[in-house]
Amino acid sequence: MVERNHPLPLYYQLMQELRSRIEQGEWKPGDLFPSERELCQAYGVSRMTVRQALAELVNEGLLRRDQGRGTFVAKPKIRKRLSRLTSFTEEMRSRGKQAGARVLRLEMVPARPRIADFLEIDAERPIALIERLRLADGEPIGIECSYLSFKGCEAVLREDLTRSLYEILSKRFGVIPTRAQEEIEVGTCNPREAQILGIQPGDPVMLIRRRTLDQNGRPFEFVESVYRGDNYILSVELMAEEPSAHS
């Protein structure tokens, strides 16, 4: 319900009303959303008011716009928690989704200088490269390229890598991931990434770089990942520092 004498702006009231109807399941993910004209007629508001409300819902990730096709209800985004080191498989399981992987590339390669620096090894030393398409309930989510360096790492390439890599490393090789440093930035996907992920070249993606350390504090993995920006969201819990006794 939108009321003109309400203290909240009309667009905000409309946004709340539409959000409530989406969350209650009146429109399902993938459904075509009513047009601006239809919403203007249904709520007796201006097109500018409708556009503001829809823009807010798009920014929240509840709606998505397809050029030339209209506005659609978006699929719920998958949240990745940044406070814990977990595998993709564990993360999806905690969200009630089925994790999957499709192997794109497996080989031993010489460590490029930048990768060697992250892994604290000599450049050109042979390392295992594992590139996989990560899936959630069968839908492409991201591309992960892992570089592994530890004694016997070449044997990992013979494992079933549609399963959790961290589980394989822990159970089969005694390499237990215990700590990681991660960097995240926003970028755009190239044509190859777009084709694999089922999106358009230039679409926004999250670029994630991670160095993972084992139980002995030794870096054994460097990962470069590209995740779809339209259905993946990062979540972090922030804690205030304890006040100083001298403050």
Q: In terms of domains, do 57 and 139 share one? A: no
Q: Is the dihedral of CA 24, 25, 31, 37 positive or negative?
A: negative
CATH code at 174?
A: 3.40.1410.10
DSSP 45-89: --HHHHHHHHHHHHHTTSEEEETTTEEEEPPPPEEEESSS---HH
- Where a domain ends, among 55, 73, 91? 73
Report yes or no: 205 and 188 within 8 Å, Cβ to Cβ: yes
One domain for residues 161 and 228: yes
Give the range with max mean pLDDT: 95-99, 164-168, 243-247: 164-168
Does residue 244 fall inside a structural domain?
no
Instruction: Examine the pLDDT at 153 and tell me if it is beyond 90.
Output: yes
Strands 78-81 and 232-235: parallel
pLDDT at position 24 is 87
Q: Are 108 and 129 within one domain?
A: yes
Structural domain that includes position 55: 10-73
Q: Are residues 156 and 222 in the same domain?
A: yes
Which of residues 73, 96, 128 is at a domain's end? Answer: 73
Q: Does any domain span residue 206?
A: yes
Q: What is the pTM of this model?
A: 0.65
Q: Does any domain span residue 101?
A: yes
CATH of the domain at 61: 1.10.10.10
Do 58 and 106 reside in the same domain of the chain? no
Report how many domains make up the chain: 2
* pLDDT tens by residue, 105-142: 999 999 999 999 999 999 999 999 999 999 888 889 89
